[in-house]
Amino acid sequence: MITVEGISKTFLVAKRQSGLGHALKSLFHREYTAVEALQNVSFHIAPGEIVGYIGPNGAGKSTTIKIMSGILVPDRGSCVIKGFTPWEDRVKYVKHIGVVFGQRSQLWWDVPVADSFELLRDIYNVPQAEYKNTMALLTETLDLGNLLQTPVRQLSLGQRMRCEIAASLLHSPSILFLDEPTIGLDAVSKIAVRQFIKTINKEKGVTVILTTHDMNDIEALASRILLIGKGNLLYDGNVQGLRSRFGTKRTITADYHENNRPIDIPGASLLSWTPERAILSVDTEQVMISEAIAKLSAQVELLDVAIDTQPIEDIIVQMYKEYQL
Amino acid sequence: MRLYFKYMKMIMKSQMQYRASFLLLALGQCLTPFTTFAGLYFMFERFGQLRGWSFYEVALCFAVTQLAFSCAEVFGRGFDVFSSLVISGDFDRLLVRPRSTVVQVFGSRFEFARLGRLLLSAAMLVWAASNIEVDWTLLKMMTLVLMVVSGIVIFLAIFILAASVSFWTVQGLEIANIFTDGGREMTSYPLNIYQKWVKRVFTFVIPFACFNYLPLLYILERDGGGGHPMYALIPLAGFLFLVPCLLVWRVGVRHYRSTGS
């Protein structure tokens, strides 16, 4: 359904130095540096998949999404989605996709949400009957009932995001691109959004590609992740695979009865220590987590233990080290 | 086209949200051309004529330009402020919708507040046309309408051209105002008061003369081929100017590079 082959994109960025003198100079003469946003990226996505697209800021996530949604033209490479090349057949192609930019609204700011929806219906030429059905489904699953008559500027971020997602689905697209859909949302809204994405994927078979910095989004939704760093595709596979390859460290936070003897467990390093609390980093390749806890409880009288998996950012940092990026 | 009116309705609704600001703006916009026009009037009261052009003749010329420009501005404001769409990256949004970008940019902004200016210009046009010593035949009236339409098209084309520049650079866009505001001031007066090269540039490079000066010669039956009915059709040449402007726009859209986020 989606085939991306060897896509590269380079941006020319004007070099700017601070100071008035340089600002004046740059009026006449500019130096540019080439930033390679994407280098030879290829992947294939099948219908009905939910793919999480992750990577640190500036890695090239948004650029890829923008190329796939026909906004940007890549320098090299091909991209065929549903038989279309997005930037060539833009008008025909974009009928089949929905796009949500988490940081940018597609609703008209000053008018009630319902008015925005109706204009979108006209833009996409959705037949009245179909529009009614879709609206009924969206209103119910996203709980939009009371929001429709409210001007967008009065909505909270969570409410707005629900409306944004609804707006991008009015024309029943078969592919949905979500660029940071949970950014800035509270826990309840995040869960609602995730739940909804799951529902439309299951019930309508919508293929979902989402970018995010929230690993919980990925774990809740994506059966597959693509990890990109500095313009290169670093990993393509499922979450467990990524964890077992790179996320082998666990953090144990232990509270115990006062104990002045320092803790010593082979294979684990002490991150911080007080007579009542210790934080340990355990490499599960060297010592099993159960073994580490057993040893720990032999040394101190445990009150509470919390085990945290490594955050995705750490895994990425570790990957970077491995790839020497 | 239907979609275009839907867009218009939407923006009308938004602008009505801020009613007082809307009314004040409309009033202010009304006054701008009125003051320039008053200036014109007093100038003529003092000097009587301008290179053989009487007050009402110049007033007609003035009104045609003002009407065309204010129409173009009411409907084409989206292009006039287009660089802000590029800077904020909101142009992304238009690209993921299955409609032509030109229609969507048109629909992105309407200056209803400038309707006041439009109405005043229209009133001025009617007033000048009825006071002028001209035998208004059907063809002449059609020519006058055609002049206004052609003027709107030419100003819109310039708006589109200027907006296209923002695909390459969002700096130095003020230069476009030479052609929009400058062109408006320039063509408010009969072109034969200027140097020859100025006339040539504004006939063959940017066809301002096509919607204003040349057909006006026909309407007023002036010398210099003024009597020839071909002059009545010259405004049509103004439409041709839209073609290269739209081409530049298309190239620009492909060149769009969005913003990081």
Q: CA A268, CA A266: separation in Å to the nearest integer?
A: 6
How far is residue B111 from each of residues A11, A105, A151, B12, measured CA to CA in Å?
35, 22, 21, 9
Q: What type of residue sits at position A266?
A: P
Residue A17 located in a structural domain: no
Residues A252-264: tens digit of each pLDDT: 898 998 888 888 8
Residues A177 and A297 in one domain: no
**8 A C-beta contact, residue B50 and residue B190:** yes
Q: Is A102 helix (H, G, I), strand (E, B) or coil?
A: coil
Asked if pLDDT for residue B172 goes beyond 70, the answer is: no
Give me the pLDDT at residue B35, please. Answer: 82
Q: CA B108, CA B101: separation in Å to the nearest integer?
A: 10
Instruction: Show residues of chain B in contact with A87, CB under 8 Å.
Output: 254
Is the CB of residue A22 less than 8 Å away from at least one CB of chain B? Answer: no
Out of B14, B92, B99, the one facing A66 most closely (by C-beta) is B92
Which residue, A193, A225, A243, sits at the end of a domain?
Answer: A243
Residues A273 and A193 in one domain: no
Q: CA A19, CA A130: separation in Å to the nearest integer?
A: 58
Residue A26 located in a structural domain: no
Which one of A71, A124, A171 would you mutate to disrupt binding with B, by most B Cβ within 10 Å of its Cβ?
A: A71
Is the CB of residue A179 less than 8 Å away from at least one CB of chain B? Answer: yes
Q: What is the CATH number of the domain that holds A255?
A: 3.30.70
Pairing of strands A97-101, A175-179: parallel
Rounded mean pLDDT of A18-35?
A: 69
Residues A51 and A190 in one domain: yes
Domain count, chain A: 2
Residue A30 located in a structural domain: no
Give me the pLDDT at residue B191, please. Answer: 81
Give me the pLDDT at residue B244, please. Answer: 93
**8 A C-beta contact, residue A26 and residue A16:** yes
Q: CA A220, CA A195: separation in Å to the nearest integer?
A: 9
Q: Is A57 helix (H, G, I), strand (E, B) or coil?
A: coil
Instruction: Show residues of chain A in contact with B85, CB under 8 Å.
Output: none
ipTM score assigned to the predicted complex = 0.77
Q: CA A101, CA A132: separation in Å to the nearest integer?
A: 25
Residue of A nearest to B12 (CA): A111
Out of A109, A110, A123, the one facing B99 most closely (by C-beta) is A123
Residue A160: which of A218, A104, A97 has the closest Cα? A104
Residues A206 and A305 in one domain: no
Residues A129 and A259 in one domain: no
Residues A214 and A259 in one domain: no
Q: What angle do CA B29, B34, B38 make, to 5 degrees?
A: 160
φ/ψ region of A259 (left if φ > 0, alpha if ψ in -120 to 50, else beta) reads beta
The overall average pLDDT reported for chain A is 86
Is the CB of residue A151 less than 8 Å away from at least one CB of chain B? Answer: yes
Give me the pLDDT at residue B261, please. Answer: 47
Residues A144 and A65 in one domain: yes
Residue A172 located in a structural domain: yes
Out of B7, B13, B260, the one facing A62 most closely (by C-beta) is B260
Q: Could you give the maximum distance between any two Cα atoms of chain B, in Å?
A: 63
Q: Which domain holds residue A168?
A: 2-6+44-243
pLDDT tier at B156 (50, 70, 90 boundaries)? Answer: very high
Residues A222 and A286 in one domain: no
Residues A252 and A232 in one domain: no
User: How far does the CA of residue B110 sit from the closest CA of chain A (Å)?
Assistant: 14
Residue B125: which of B110, B147, B156 has the closest Cα? B147
**8 A C-beta contact, residue A216 and residue A247:** no
Orientation angle between helical segments B115-131 and B55-80, nearest 10 degrees: 160
Rounded mean pLDDT of B184-207?
A: 83
**A100: how many CB neighbours lie within 10 A of its CB?**
23
Residue A19 located in a structural domain: no
Size of interface A-B (CB pairs under 8 A): 69
Residues A224 and A184 in one domain: yes
Q: Specify the DSSP class assigned to residue A263.
A: P
Tell me which residues of chain A, numbers 70 to 99, contact chain B at a CB-CB cutoff of 8 Å.
Answer: 70-73, 87, 90-92, 94-95, 97, 99
Q: Please indicate whether, in this complex, the C-beta atoms of A69 and B254 are within 8 angstroms of each other.
A: no
Out of A66, A87, A119, the one facing B10 most closely (by C-beta) is A119
Is the CB of residue B174 less than 8 Å away from at least one CB of chain A? Answer: no
Residue A130: which of A173, A172, A175 has the closest Cα? A172
Which residue, A191, A219, A243, sits at the end of a domain?
Answer: A243
Residue A282 located in a structural domain: yes
Residues A144 and A270 in one domain: no
Residue A323 located in a structural domain: no
Residues A162-209: tens digit of each pLDDT: 899 999 999 999 999 998 888 888 888 888 889 999 999 998 899 999
Residue A276 located in a structural domain: yes
Is the CB of residue B87 less than 8 Å away from at least one CB of chain A? Answer: no
Which residue, A199, A228, A243, sits at the end of a domain?
Answer: A243
User: How far does the CA of residue A143 sit from the closest CA of chain B (Å)?
Assistant: 25
Q: What is the CATH number of the domain that holds A214?
A: 3.40.50.300
Residues A206-226: tens digit of each pLDDT: 999 999 888 788 888 888 989
Is the CB of residue A68 less than 8 Å away from at least one CB of chain B? Answer: no
**8 A C-beta contact, residue A97 and residue A173:** yes
* Spatial CB neighbours of B144, under 8 Å, sequence gap ≥ 6: B64, B129, B219
Residues A40-92: tens digit of each pLDDT: 999 999 999 999 998 877 788 888 999 999 988 899 999 999 999 999 889 99
Residues A51 and A91 in one domain: yes
